[in-house]
Amino acid sequence: MKIIPYKRRANYYETDQMGIVHHTNYIRYFEEARIDFMRQIGCSCAELEKKGTIIPVVDAYAKYHKSIKFDDEVYVFITLDKFNGARMEFSYEIRFCDTNELAAVGHTSHCFVDTDHKPFSVKRKLPDIYKKMTDSINLPLPSVNK
């Protein structure tokens, strides 16, 4: 399976007084890419929530290399690094579409909880999701043709 990188254009409202995308939006870009990744592997977050599964963020980190400005197009590359059935960790690279320059890197950690916010093992409760997730660990980052 190949994951298609998430592509987006920076919106004007995401910029700060200096004309660059505010640092908090990079974490949003990570989330958008993660939702897209989950959809691509057949684990729709909307469907999981309908089944009573919530995937909260436990930890988020970003390191900024080059500022994204209004109307810049970027790819968000995502890799599922770790998954044990109860927790998972993703890493991210944000790169400019036109130059492939690195804008930011980061990672997020998540757990699975039910509607009462109690953690659970996906392996026992949702074995089909467990299989899709384990099959998606450390998929290679795709190259993007310009």
Q: What is the pLDDT of residues 80-127, one digit of tens each?
A: 999 999 999 999 999 999 999 999 999 999 999 999 999 999 999 999
Say what the pLDDT of residue 1 is. Answer: 75
The residues carrying an active-site annotation are: 16
Res 15 pLDDT > 70 = yes
- For the chain, which residues make up each domain, given as ranges? 6-135
Q: Are 44 and 18 in contact (CB under 8 A)?
A: no
Q: Which amino acid is at 125?
A: K
As assigned by CATH, the class of the 6-135 domain is alpha beta
This prediction has a pTM of 0.92
Q: H helices of the chain, where? A: 24-40, 45-50, 122-125, 127-135
pLDDT score of 146 more than 70: no
- Higher pLDDT, residue 146 or 67: 67
